Structure 1
Amino acid sequence: MSVVVTLSASSSAQAEITAFKQAVAEESAKDAGIAAFYRGRNFEPIWTQNNGKDATRRNAFLQALSMARVHGLPAGKYDPNVFMADLGRVQNQRDLGRMEVQMSRLFVQYAQDISRGIVTPSKVDPGMVRKVSRFKSEDLLEAFAKSSPAGFLKNLAPKAPEYLALTKEKLTLEKQLERGGWGPTVNAKKLEPGASGNEVVTLRNRLIAMGYMGRSASQTYDVAMQKAVQLFQLTHGLSPDGVAGGATISEINVPVEGRLKSVMVAMERERWLNGLERGERHVWVNITDFHVRIIDDGKTTFETRSVVGKNTSDRQTPEFSDVMTHMVINPTWNVPRSIAVKEYLPMLKKNPNAVSHLRLINGSGQIVSREGQDFTQYSARNFPFDIKQPPSRGNALGLVKFMFPNRYNIYLHDTPAKDLFGRESRAFSHGCVRLRDPQDFAFALLARQQSDPEPYFKKILATGRETTVPLDQPVPVHIVYRTAITDPKGRTNYRRDVYGRDAKIFDAMQKAGVTLQAVQG
């Protein structure tokens, strides 16, 4: 005996609602945050109903997706045409329920990518220890459902002036890529004022194409070309001598694609900082630029050269943000354990009186005499002493250090090795950041709490005693790594990828679906 059940119009509609909600529940279960969002609204949709609100959300999201490429996001992943095709294949309410959740999942991924970055820094390189504050799926969807869709989506991308300038430079480079780049590369080891010939013409043409020189028919390395080379050198972190030596020619020969990658990685790095309050006053340390700056209300008010970590796996300066709380005048150098056992212990094994300017300290904090010590019995594992260098002008930390306590034991400090600041590339330290003008840096920091900071500082310095000076207003410190930076005049400056981190980031971005693309001008 068979039973035929005939549904009324109302019961049929109810069945469709039930099928839709059941599909939403099943599909959203794959993501706890999305599932919580839909449970909280009894599995009601925000995208797929034929009403004004859902249509407005859909249209706003489609418009945002169409701009994904502009931001250097994976264009294929966010192709609005793919999304529309998927929507067009919906056959029933269960399909529609699954599509509802898929749209939310795509929205959450897009929102995270454009506002907080595509890749996770620490997964790309161990030196990129920066923590990125990401949104919870539920919070994103809740906020979006209650907001003006177009406005919400527009506000996801970073609003920092640097991000906007980089986006503009990206478009400029993409147009240049469409035009075939900057022309042939320069095949010469060195070109200088007065030279002539084919390679000088090639250099001239590249400088013109890159915007460093006005149109010219000159076939000699004249004054105009010299000035153009100097400007190029200034904007690429090179000594501005006006001579196109090996380093300058190498940078001039970097193709459009190389600069485009730098810009797109810089945009990604800006997204990592998007959720971070930089501070009205903050210290900005750009590793690749070998400079430290104090920024007040978006403007550089102090700048000095720096030396950063050497390009070895154990010495590279890490990237992170913290807060400077104090400075130490006449500091003691507490030699890191790694340096003590890797560098100084081998010396002590050969000669117990080696590095006599350093003190051995036992577990009780007492100075230990070297007399009678057999250092050959010790290894990196069982070496029982701490090593310290007392305050002095020859101290490895110089006369002052600036502390933003962190787990990486990184800080800014003076150094007696002043000759390194004259180098073009300055990656020589064990990881900390050395300053060329540490006392002037101290004066600038103290000016907000001392009416006359210089004599105040020098009075403490004259005592020769280690003294901690708190900062009344702690200052955020951001250690960053940018190979593409825009200057106040709107020109993009480039730096070398000293640790190879940008290459790793772009590789990870490519694996996520990011591509280089030429566009018509």
Structure 2
Amino acid sequence: MLVGTLIALAVTAGFAATASDAPVALTTAVQSLLQTRLTTIGSGAAATVQGRHLASPAMVRLFYDQRQYRPAWAGADGSGRPLSELLTALEGLRQEALNPEAYHLQSLQRLYGDLQSSGLLREEVRLELLVDAELLATDAFLTSAGHLLSGRIAPETLGPEQQAVHKDADLIGALETAAHSGRLQPVLSSFLPDHSGYRRLRRILQRYRRIEEKGGWTQLPDGPTLRAGVEDERVSMLRFRLVAEGFLDGRRARDGNHFDSTLKRAVAAFQRQHGLAADGVIGALTREALNVSARSRVRQIELNMERWRWLPRYLGKRYLLVNIADYQMEIVDENRRVMVMRVAVGRDYRRTPVFSAELTRLVLNPHWYVPPTIFTEDLLPAIRSNPEYLRERGYRVFSSLGPDAEEMDPDRIDWQAVDPGNFPYILRKDPGPFNPMGRVKFLFPNKYDVYIHDSPDRSIFTQPKRTFSSGCIRIEKPIELAEYLLKDHFNWTRRRILAEIESGRSEIIEVPAPLPTYIQYWTAWVDESGNVQFREDIYGRDALLGETLSKLPDF
């Protein structure tokens, strides 16, 4: 009844009277029905169109409110021709590791096809189709733009140890710009992460999808270690496996069962790109990496593209980045890596969190104040079993953190009766060679109380898997980092830094130019040489992210 009334009004107003009047009448009719439909949605009714749920109904309504319900996609002749560019853009979302079907692609394609042949439809049917197309297309644009900008999920929903930089953008204004200019694709693309690391991942994603579409690669069976010089039927299988991923020239695939020097070099290249010891030997770890399926590698790339969307669009002229999964830290200055070093990160039960902050100060010869978790889980049980534990390891007890804190006699504390949840004292370890902070600590204030710092145990940096800390980040070259941070501080030379450390005095130094610091968890990326790098999911965060994304509705 409502649609018939609108059509009647449109005809009365000249909907079909003349060619010049028709677009005006059509727009009026679409406006009226859009307003009615959106009012119904706003009153609490389910926001469902063509059997699809709108993902962003509030924004859709606001968009049309602001433009007095004028259609954005119908086209002057009611053919829905502006939808064509949107359909192309939605199909392209697959390259961004997003599923186009989450943005109503099939429904919009069907609507577009129907509108192209709308001359065969009754006017009231065509009007309903136009309004359906308006609602679904607007929802698709606004939702996909938001996902390109910030990701499909907020990392905070994965748990307290992951945090993103939240980005604000006027999505409705962007859609208005696209509707006015008729150039939708550039507007939508402006929400993509503007980082070379993201673009390199996007390119490699297409390559691995092609490998997957061709059938991927076969599994390498278990068996004795394979190394140069051996004869084994699995060597031939290994050749085909490496050819499939591009580590070995296809012409060498049929060179037989002898493990030669060329194959050893190809294996070593594979190992380097998977964070393994590049010895050219197929042991258990290398075979495990070889047997990860092409589909799993595709998914791994997609998950890490999602993580890029959690970062700010501009990282800074200079910044420090730690990749937890790679046990590595780098400093980038003017798009060049100027410093790279190994790091150790948190154990599995005390994981290093993902977050961003600003490095503002460093401390030479730092004290170490025992965090509550370490006191409760590590120190208190040890103190209770050994009354001399604190003295033997150089711990002191204070009444508080302040400069006027009173030092307490640990023998006068009943450690057996201590409530770890209400411990009134502070445990401190003074500067020295056995301080867990080492000789230098770097401060970037954050809610996790995580620091970057030196380590008294240098041997940890020779280990391939470096999960040794209680959440903080231990670095291989603390003096070099301090020197870099203080390079614009005219009186803080390397010689003076070392002299101050040798003095044993604790000193806090402000960094002249605070350094944006990003603690990230990337298990797949493409290095500056164009080689894809894969790493073990040491904390299970890929698995959690993948499972969470798989449960999201496709509306």
Scaled by the length of structure 2, what TM-score is found? 0.85
Greater CA deviation, 469-478 or 444-453? 444-453
> Could you say which residue in structure 1 is the equivalent of 2:364?
329
The 5-angstrom pairing of residues 402-413 of structure 1 reads 402-413=442-453
Match of 1:76 among 69, 89, 101: 101
CA contact (8 A) 1:411 1:433 kept: yes
Matched, 1:201 2:243: no
Match of 1:211 among 223, 246, 255: 246
> Could you say which residue in structure 2 is the equivalent of 1:504?
544
Query: In the TM superposition, what whole-angstrom CA distance separates every residue of 1:190-220 from its partner, at most 9, and x where no partner exists?
Result: 2222211112222222122222222320422
> Could you say which residue in structure 2 is the equivalent of 1:181?
216
Q: CA deviation at 1:167?
A: 1.5
Matched, 1:110 2:113: no
> Could you say which residue in structure 2 is the equivalent of 1:221?
259
Match of 1:67 among 73, 92, 96: 92
Aligned length: 506
CA contact (8 A) 1:284 1:480 kept: yes
Query: In the TM superposition, what whole-angstrom CA distance separates every residue of 1:400-422 from its partner, at most 9, and x where no partner exists?
Result: 01111011111100011211111
Match of 1:346 among 366, 369, 381: 381
> Could you say which residue in structure 2 is the equivalent of 1:368?
408
SS at match of 1:322: strand
CA contact (8 A) 2:31 2:70 kept: no
Query: Residue type of the partner of 2:264?
Result: Q
> Could you say which residue in structure 2 is the equivalent of 1:9?
12
Q: CA deviation at 1:278?
A: 0.6
Match of 1:268 among 306, 311, 315: 306
Matched, 1:279 2:321: no
Matched, 1:235 2:238: no
CA contact (8 A) 1:341 1:379 kept: no
Question: What is the alpha-carbon distance in structure 1 between the residues aligned to residue 88 and residue 405 of structure 2?
Answer: 66
Question: What is the alpha-carbon distance in structure 2 between the residues aligned to residue 94 and residue 176 of structure 1?
Answer: 43
CA RMSD for the aligned pairs? 2.6
Query: In the TM superposition, what whole-angstrom CA distance separates every residue of 1:51-90 from its partner, at most 9, and x where no partner exists?
Result: 69x9674222111012122222123223644213245387
SS at match of 1:381: helix
> Could you say which residue in structure 1 is the equivalent of 2:326?
289
Query: In the TM superposition, what whole-angstrom CA distance separates every residue of 1:82-131 from its partner, at most 9, and x where no partner exists?
Result: 21324538725466445423321121111112232122212234322224
Query: Residue type of the partner of 1:270?
Result: W
| Larger relative contact order, structure 1 or 2 (CA cutoff 8 Å, min sep 6) | 1
CA contact (8 A) 1:125 1:501 kept: no
> Could you say which residue in structure 1 is the equivalent of 2:426?
386
Query: In the TM superposition, what whole-angstrom CA distance separates every residue of 1:250-288 from its partner, at most 9, and x where no partner exists?
Result: 111211112111111111111222x44211111110000
Question: What is the alpha-carbon distance in structure 2 between the residues aligned to residue 362 and residue 451 of structure 1?
Answer: 36
Structure 1 stretches lacking a partner, 5+ long: 1-5, 515-521
CA contact (8 A) 2:108 2:136 kept: no
Question: What is the alpha-carbon distance in structure 2 between the residues aligned to residue 56 and residue 358 of structure 1?
Answer: 74
> Could you say which residue in structure 1 is the equivalent of 2:120?
none
Greater CA deviation, 451-460 or 172-181? 451-460
Query: Residue type of the partner of 1:127?
Result: E
Query: Residue type of the partner of 1:245?
Result: G
SS at match of 2:205: helix
Question: What is the alpha-carbon distance in structure 2 between the residues aligned to residue 317 and residue 489 of structure 1?
Answer: 28
CA contact (8 A) 1:321 1:478 kept: yes
Query: In the TM superposition, what whole-angstrom CA distance separates every residue of 1:120-147 from its partner, at most 9, and x where no partner exists?
Result: 2122343222243254553443443455
Question: What is the alpha-carbon distance in structure 2 between the residues aligned to residue 490 and residue 41 of structure 1?
Answer: 46
> Could you say which residue in structure 2 is the equivalent of 1:440?
480
Question: What is the alpha-carbon distance in structure 1 between the residues aligned to residue 200 and residue 406 of structure 2?
Answer: 56
CA contact (8 A) 1:75 1:513 kept: no
SS at match of 2:533: strand
Query: In the TM superposition, what whole-angstrom CA distance separates every residue of 1:375-402 from its partner, at most 9, and x where no partner exists?
Result: 1111212322111111112111000011
> Could you say which residue in structure 1 is the equivalent of 2:339?
302
> Could you say which residue in structure 2 is the equivalent of 1:319?
354
Query: In the TM superposition, what whole-angstrom CA distance separates every residue of 1:464-505 from its partner, at most 9, and x where no partner exists?
Result: 121111111111111111111111111101100000101121
Match of 1:475 among 495, 502, 515: 515
CA contact (8 A) 1:56 1:149 kept: no
> Could you say which residue in structure 1 is the equivalent of 2:161?
127
> Could you say which residue in structure 1 is the equivalent of 2:67?
41
Greater CA deviation, 207-216 or 490-499? 207-216
Question: What is the alpha-carbon distance in structure 2 between the residues aligned to residue 202 and residue 355 of structure 1?
Answer: 58
Question: What is the alpha-carbon distance in structure 1 between the residues aligned to residue 378 and residue 547 of structure 2?
Answer: 35
Q: CA deviation at 1:28?
A: 6.2
CA contact (8 A) 1:23 1:98 kept: no
Query: In the TM superposition, what whole-angstrom CA distance separates every residue of 1:320-344 from its partner, at most 9, and x where no partner exists?
Result: 1111111111111111111112211
Q: CA deviation at 1:21?
A: 4.4
Question: What is the alpha-carbon distance in structure 1 between the residues aligned to residue 369 and residue 247 of structure 2?
Answer: 48
> Could you say which residue in structure 2 is the equivalent of 1:161?
196
Matched, 1:150 2:185: yes
Compared CA separation, residues 253 and 182, structure 1 to 2 (3 A): same
Greater CA deviation, 41-50 or 499-508? 41-50
Q: CA deviation at 1:221?
A: 1.9
Query: Residue type of the partner of 1:382?
Result: N
Q: CA deviation at 1:448?
A: 3.6
> Could you say which residue in structure 2 is the equivalent of 1:20?
33
Compared CA separation, residues 276 and 155, structure 1 to 2 (3 A): closer
Match of 2:390 among 332, 349, 355: 355
Q: CA deviation at 1:16?
A: 3.0
Question: What is the alpha-carbon distance in structure 1 between the residues aligned to residue 317 and residue 385 of structure 2?
Answer: 52
Compared CA separation, residues 504 and 404, structure 1 to 2 (3 A): same
Question: What is the alpha-carbon distance in structure 1 between the residues aligned to residue 82 and residue 405 of structure 2?
Answer: 66
